[in-house]
Amino acid sequence: MTWSKLKKNLESFLCPALKDRVEYRASSYRYLPDKSGTCYIAVDKKNVFKMSDRTTLIRWYQTEQEIKNDSTIQIPISTEEIEAVRNETKGMVPEERLQVIARSRKLSEYAKELMSAQSSLSKSNFTVAANTFLTTPIEESLESNELLLNILALVDRRVGKKRIINMAEKIKYKHPIVQYFYELRLSAV
């Protein structure tokens, strides 16, 4: 599918409140056929989603350690996770350390998910993800681990106000760019 047709299809699914605010853009290199172009999403004429660009509003992590040291990330720990650590250590670890160990493990998993989600975004990857979005049910896109599918689903008109509000807890575990588009959609509802 050509870029113009793909863009038109994606924009036809935008919720009415975001129709003039969100747009899909692409750049390509006419004289460098071996170099793929890049796609990005602009909100209010500002480039917000372009993974390789450091000037965007959203923080992109370089290492797992950056994620682990980011104080803005809040990871709740369940009693089952603390109990699993207690069983693993056979009760030899003090109670206050159990929570620290459980949080560290959960943060490591979260960091690995974020780093895998932050793969480089090229025009071909964008078009593949966009075509996947257009051919799969909206529920699958919302539940997916892929950032772009989450974003496209969040700004979709088929996702209603009630569903957006009920997603608040799940969104806390997503990448900051998905949280940004969730807040954008929440403000437009």
Convert the pLDDT of each residue in 74-110 to its tens digit: 777 888 988 888 898 888 888 889 888 888 888 888 7
Q: In the 3-class helix/strand/coil scheme, how is 121-162 assigned residue by residue?
A: CCHHHHHHHHHHHHHCCHHHHHHCCCHHHHHHHHCECCCCHH
Name the residue range of residue 94's domain: 66-117
Q: Which pLDDT band, with edges at 50, 70 and 90, does 154 fall under?
A: very high
Tell whether the model's pLDDT for residue 137 goes beyond 90: yes
Q: Which pLDDT band, with edges at 50, 70 and 90, does 35 fall under?
A: low
Name every residue whose Cβ is closer than 8 Å to that of residue 69 and which is 6 or more positions away in sequence.
Answer: none
Residues 133 and 182 grouped into a single domain? yes
| Mean pLDDT, rounded, of the chain | 81
Residues 51 and 133 grouped into a single domain? yes
Residues 74 and 162 grouped into a single domain? no
Q: What is the mean pLDDT of residues 19-48?
A: 76
Residues 130 and 184 grouped into a single domain? yes
Number of domains in the chain: 2
Q: What is the C-alpha to C-alpha distance for residues 103 and 74, in angstroms, rounded to an integer?
A: 10
Residues 113 and 138 grouped into a single domain? no
Q: For the chain, what percent of residues have pLDDT higher than 90?
A: 25
Tell whether the model's pLDDT for residue 4 goes beyond 50: yes
Kindly report the pTM of this predicted structure: 0.68
Residues 128 and 101 grouped into a single domain? no
Tell whether the model's pLDDT for residue 120 goes beyond 50: no
Residues 171 and 100 grouped into a single domain? no
Residues 52 and 77 grouped into a single domain? no
Residues 48 and 74 grouped into a single domain? no
Tell whether the model's pLDDT for residue 53 goes beyond 50: no
Q: Which pLDDT band, with edges at 50, 70 and 90, does 115 fall under?
A: low
Q: Is 71 exposed, middle or buried (0-12, 13-18, 19+ CB in 10 A)?
A: exposed
CA-closest candidate to residue 6, choices 147, 150, 152: 152
Tell whether the model's pLDDT for residue 27 goes beyond 80: no
pLDDT at 122: 46
Q: What is the C-alpha to C-alpha distance for residues 154 and 64, in angstroms, rounded to an integer?
A: 26
Residues 51 and 73 grouped into a single domain? no
The DSSP letter of residue 46 is E
Q: Which pLDDT band, with edges at 50, 70 and 90, does 118 fall under?
A: low
Residues 169 and 141 grouped into a single domain? yes
Residues 131 and 183 grouped into a single domain? yes
CA-closest candidate to residue 181, choices 156, 146, 160: 156
